Amino acid sequence: MSLHEVKVFGVFESQPKIWITSNEVASAAGVAQRTARAHCLKLTKLGMLDLAEVFPAHRYRLSAKASKRNTAYHQRLAHAKDVFGIFK
């Protein structure tokens, strides 16, 4: 688990109800757009994010059931957040 992945997930945790694009995630997390897009897709496949396929860009938001859909991965993210010293 990388620091970038934890930062990307943190963006969604800080705004759980808002639909955002991967470009907006990249800006908020301080990572490259390509990195944000890759992590958004991965987190979607793991059930952590919901996806809205709309034009002109897909939008993502934290799934209301993220911690239940993939409890183990959610716990790994929380642990990595602690290890990296990200408290928000």
23-69 residue pLDDT tens: 999 999 999 999 999 999 999 999 999 999 999 999 999 999 988 98
pLDDT per position as a tens digit, 1-18? 899 999 999 999 999 999
Q: In terms of C-beta distances under 8 Å and separation of at least 24 residues, what long-range contacts does 23-27 make, across chains too?
A: 23/57, 25/60
Asked whether residue 85 is assigned to any structural domain, the reply reads no
Report whether 77 contacts 1 (CB < 8 A): yes
Q: Is the pLDDT of residue 88 over 80?
A: no
- Please tell me the total number of residues recorded for the chain in this structure: 88
pTM equals: 0.91
Asked whether residue 56 is assigned to any structural domain, the reply reads yes
| CATH code (residue 12) | 1.10.10.10
Asked whether residue 83 is assigned to any structural domain, the reply reads no
pLDDT of residue 86: 85
Structure tokens at 8: 């990307």
pLDDT of residue 46: 95
Asked whether residue 86 is assigned to any structural domain, the reply reads no
What total of structural domains would you count in the chain? 1
If we measure between CA atoms, which residue out of 68, 20, 30, 27 comes closest to residue 48?
A: 68
